[in-house]
A and B are shown apart, each in its own frame.
Chain A
């Protein structure tokens, strides 16, 4: 116990010490997080009336971000496969980092959801014992359940592996393998349950498609590796740890395979929706072409599709993808394009037109954008801190010293 407190103390010390650039980076993120916190306070104190959401478009950027980061959380499974199924040593070193990306994504998802609740003070109504949970009917209730498990899993795995490493002991595989395998399965589960949460709604034709869950998984296999690759590149550049080229090649390879699949599935949706031309496809027409004077969303979705194609070309041409700068640029394009496609481009058309045919266009306002940036900054802050500790432990700079115990 004392040893563990000692460990936490060294971790805190590791997070608090750094160079000038580290302090600037963390300070900047802290300011953004703080501003997001102020916006969150207003969401609670003044009610969600301060947002641009309406009864017609009752979910906005918060739910869009939630859906997006579910994908990022789930994509960690992509790194577990080579590490624990194919047992490639270079990947084991990055599993902890990937799990940290997962746990921070889950925390961000929860923040996006809780800040989107009308009554966050009644969150306990969802808890077993004190609350009433509507199982098995409510898909949202299922989502809460699977998310709780995901949070525990993705906290436990990196925490255990790191502490063992700190102690200089080999991790006990009996304590690692089962949760690691479960977390691989769980990545698919949290994603599918979240997709079902939307696709099960017969009131919303745009979501009511069997293709939604597969598209969720495939798009996550694009946005996830893109974000992980960028994070790893940052670690190589600033973090004082060398992540093997093999990891980067693998992630780029995943992108090269999954991006065309993602575009194919998108194309299938577009064809079926727009070719049939029935009234229930108005939402798809809103997304791709706009309805009347409401044409903001098409600008975003076409930009996203162009980004997808540009990134795909970069990834397919060997001479280009071997240049790190171009590779990172294509990842940045994909981070944005999937955010449009799977975030706002998925959530908003579900509500537009309304079930009574009303077209209300939603654009997030300043308070919603500040809150989003705040949560993203908090995520980056947490990741930097956790990655710093992880790297220090992995590289042996942070170790249990003889005198400590």
Chain B
């Protein structure tokens, strides 16, 4: 297959946005149907216990809910935060590409991600593993290498995070539709709907999902006040969370925190549908691959050798 034909397939077949939209429309319609069926049961007093699914929230619901979350954070930690709800941009589908020949395993991305996304010490969305030169086999990966001593000779480094799959097994697994694919390709979790069964964690082939085993505690001085409901707001205990491509940043035209922090420039990010975007150029010009392609998850995360 010529490189052009392969790219054509990647872009059209695997990341074709019409398909994605139709999928989302189906979800939205189903959600709306359930919503209209159940609005009658909503009582006012038991608001918190009978919280609504994100896709059923009206603008008024959102305003009240976000204000309540902001007030709770203020009361608990004394930090004034804003919880927003940036919407996907029309025609945009985000893709991340990572140059493995540049990554040297310094793990700056891991820490930047943690700061940006208000992660407690025991949760990291990103894993950078060390593999021997000559292999990318995860079974032999070293997870506990010292990031101060990189790059070690004879070693390669492989960062893994949520691959924002087009066919995500985690979304299929969730029994209550607390996680879904947004129109811009980002897989999100409604932290106020998740029941904490962790079936999605079992279903994820990339070890991308994390569970809040405890009430997350973050030092007030480290809280990032710029928050979004579906991404980096401080999570409740007992729910699953994951990388959201920093949607509170990227949907407002900024890069994700991991990319900004990367000193080697290994990370590229952008809109696959934009012919002039950097990720599109990488896909056109570099030799790319995806993790565990054989599983048919169709990741929106590519690796390449620059």
Contact = CB atoms under 8 A, between A and B. Distances in A.
11 contacts: A47-B212, A55-B201, A125-B195, A138-B175, A141-B175, A203-B169, A203-B295, A282-B139, A350-B202, A354-B207, A355-B206
B262 to A, nearest CB: 20
Nearest to B173: A138
A322 interface: no
Contact of B205 (A54, A139, A355): A355
B239 A204 contact: no
A129 B169 CA distance: 25
B254 to A, nearest CB: 28
B238 A119 contact: yes
A169 B82 CA distance: 69
A13 interface: no
B202 A201 contact: yes
Contacts of A119: 194-196, 236, 238-239
A350 B127 CA distance: 20
Contacts of B199: 138, 140, 197
A130 B171 CA distance: 20
Contacts, number: 153
A376 B112 CA distance: 46
A210 interface: no
B41 A129 contact: yes
User: Which secondary structure dominates chain A's binding surface?
Assistant: loop
**10 tightest A-B CB contacts, nearest first:** A118-B196, A118-B238, A203-B205, A49-B213, A49-B214, A357-B138, A140-B175, A141-B175, A137-B172, A119-B196
Interface string B199-242: 10111111101111111000000000000000000001111100
B125 to A, nearest CB: 11
Nearest to A140: B175
Interface residues of B, number: 55
B277 interface: no
Interface residues of A, number: 50
Contacts of B213: 47-49, 51, 53-54
Interface of B: 31, 34, 37-38, 41, 49-50, 53, 123, 127, 129, 137-141, 143, 160, 169, 171-178, 193-199, 201-207, 209-215, 236-240, 295-296
A117 B197 contact: yes
Contacts of B210: 55
Nearest to A117: B196
B160 A356 contact: yes
Contact of A129 (B38, B177, B178): B38
B202 A118 contact: no
Given A118-B212, A356-B206, A58 B238 contact: no
B169 A47 contact: no
A113 to B, nearest CB: 8
Interface string A114-129: 0011111111111001
B138 A55 contact: no
A356 B161 CA distance: 11
B290 to A, nearest CB: 14
A325 interface: no
Interface in A100-124: 113, 116-124
A351 B202 contact: yes
Central interface residue in B34, B201, B214, B239, by most chain A CB within 10 Å: B201
A227 interface: no
A279 interface: yes
A10 B206 CA distance: 58
B170 to A, nearest CB: 9
B175 A204 contact: no
Contact of B202 (A133, A203, A353): A203
B195 A138 contact: no
